[in-house]
Amino acid sequence: MTTTDPLQRTTLELPEGPLSVLSAGGRGSPVVLLGGGGLDNALLSWAHLIGDLAADHRVVAPDWPKQGRSRPWNGVADHAALVEALEAVMDHFGFERAHLVGLSQGGAVALSQAIARPDRVGRVVAMAPGGVSSYAPGLHQLLWLSGRSRLLSTTVPSLFSRRRSQVAAMARRVLFAGPVADFDEVVEQMWAEGRQNGAGPSDWQKASLNPFGLNVDLRPHLGGIASPALFLQGEEDVIVSPRDTIAAMRRVPGARLRMLRGHGHWLQRQSPGLVNALVRDFLAQDGPEAGPGVGWESPV
């Protein structure tokens, strides 16, 4: 399914700065798409999904604060700030209740909202979600220190992202684990985001860690999620461990997981047709999803 409706862009003037939101579709249940951190924005994450879902849903996708056109932003865009941004988007578009589809950082926000505000959440799709992983001692402290160092978290990544070839190499090594039909377009968009807004971890990524643990750890609360939930995970993801995503899914009552063979972190850009179908079919269901807790999917 596709829609011929053009994407609309709306800017919400919030106290901290402008929040830019893409929207499409004029009928059906609301869906909010929540992207990841780093070199990402709403169009980068959801270029293929937003129009597809708009055939049957009212779809919105914000640029997170300090991404895309949601700049300048006064303040730290940590977990609490992103939850507030989500609430502001839903209020602005009149969504009393919406399905949430989140990738990585956005997956953590989607799950967190399902825990804290079940009255506002329909179904949840969490793609390689943040907030459910632990890191080995030593690596954890290194990541925490890197996030607190301006040199390592901002200066070096921004210098690295100035060259298109380096962005392409990073995308192949970190984000994907197989062929991507529009790889050159993805790299071009990432390169543009880096030139405009800099590179490096997001505020959410930096603020989610403390020296000895996680400031954003959803695992103890996942059992309280009442919304139907679908987890999507790349088998070869080097950012979010498949083992951690499986463990998180098993904490959510009635949740299901689809593991994508030969995929990395950006599932929806590596195989948009497959991911679009999985998301669209899940959102269309009236009851709990049938089938095994963990299922496997392969690209066509």
Assigned domain for 162 exists: no
DSSP assignment string, 62-109: EPPTTSTT--S--S---HHHHHHHHHHHHHHTT-SSEEEEEETHHHHH
pLDDT score at 156: 43
pLDDT score at 292: 58
* Euclidean distance between CA atoms 112 and 130, whole angstroms: 10
Taking a C-beta distance cutoff of 8 angstroms, is the pair 30, 13 a contact? Answer: no
Assigned domain for 141 exists: no
Assigned domain for 59 exists: yes
Instruction: Using the structure block, give the residue that is written with the tokens 């011929």.
Output: 4
Q: Domain holding 246: CATH number?
A: 3.40.50.1820
Question: Which of left, alpha, beta for 214 (phi over 0: left; psi -120 to 50: alpha)?
Answer: beta
Q: In the chain, how many domains are there?
A: 1
Element (H, E) at 260: strand 256-260
Assigned domain for 267 exists: yes
pLDDT score at 299: 78
What are the tens digits of pLDDT across the range 185-237? 999 999 888 888 776 778 888 888 766 667 889 999 999 999 999 999 999 99
pLDDT score at 160: 54
* Euclidean distance between CA atoms 229 and 101, whole angstroms: 10
Q: Which residues of the chain have pLDDT under 70?
A: 1-5, 135-162, 199, 210-213, 287-292, 300
Q: Which domain holds residue 113?
A: 8-135+217-297
